[in-house]
Amino acid sequence: MKTYISDQIPNNPLLRPSTLGQSSVVRYTRTRGRVDFASSGKSQRTISDIECEPMKPELLTLSCPSRRCFLSQLGLGTITACIGHDARADHPPPFTQVPAEFSGLQPDLRSTLVFNDGSTVKSADDWNKRRTEILSDWHRIMGEWPPMVDHPSIEINETTMRGNVKQQRVRVQIAPDQTSDGYILIPPGDGPFPAVFVPFYDPETSIGLSDKPFRGFAWQLSRRGFVSFSIGAPGGDASKPVLSEQAHCQPLS
């Protein structure tokens, strides 16, 4: 049995002090998937019983700002330990096996190398034609994509610094007759930088300027060297976007 304190915690990002916080000390004992814990001198309780191969008992001293934080991190750590255990490779769980009533059945699926008229692809030129046919069928079923805006206009309305990250509030063209507000975050340095597009319900959440926790993806990426462009749903509701006459939603294809 080992005790890990502070930076001696094993190399697991879920268990590092920087992830868990520093305000209180939590200890837990884990053996055979059964997890017990004691926090700040409180009585020991059982959290869960997870079917998992036996593991060596281990005692970890962790730092965590709240019991909710601890429970969430503990659950993830336990699940990770079970999933990463290779001893069960010879006994896969039932959900990886075909149900008995469907075992041995062959689905009635045609080859992608067969045209809709029954003829077969015999050359590279034929395959290019078949690809066009597949794409046409896909759009017919899922819906047509709207035409691309080849050179969207962009207008920078405000530039501020957040620490060493440059923040630009922008208005960008999203359709021939519609624009939307968003933010570009630029990390320090001369670049070139990798770039990422971060769509969300509202761009303020993506750049870490709202009261919604754990959703500031663009902000976290830009702090780590990415240029990020954050934009929200037109009107703020992704299920009912406010669209202009020439704006059309792209199907989920």
Q: What is the pLDDT of residue 8?
A: 39
The tens digit of pLDDT for each residue in 118-153 reads: 999 999 999 999 999 999 999 999 888 888 899 999
Amino acid at 105: L
Give me the percent of the chain exceeding a pLDDT of 70: 62
pLDDT average, residue stretch 19-44: 42
Strands in 34-39's sheet, in edge-to-edge order, are: 3-4, 58-63, 25-31, 34-39, 45-49
Sign, Cα dihedral of 110, 114, 116, 119: negative
To 5 degrees, how large is the angle CA 7–CA 13–CA 17? 35
Length of the chain: 253
Q: What is the pLDDT of residue 64?
A: 54
Q: What is the pLDDT of residue 98?
A: 79
To 5 degrees, how large is the angle CA 229–CA 232–CA 235? 150
The tens digit of pLDDT for each residue in 34-67 reads: 444 444 444 443 333 334 444 444 444 445 556 5
Cα(187)–Cα(253) distance, rounded to whole angstroms? Answer: 32
Q: For 22-31, 99-108, 148-157, which range has the lowest pLDDT when averaged over its residues?
A: 22-31
pLDDT average, residue stretch 174-187: 95
Q: Which two tokens stand for residue 196?
A: 């990422």
pLDDT average, residue stretch 229-251: 89
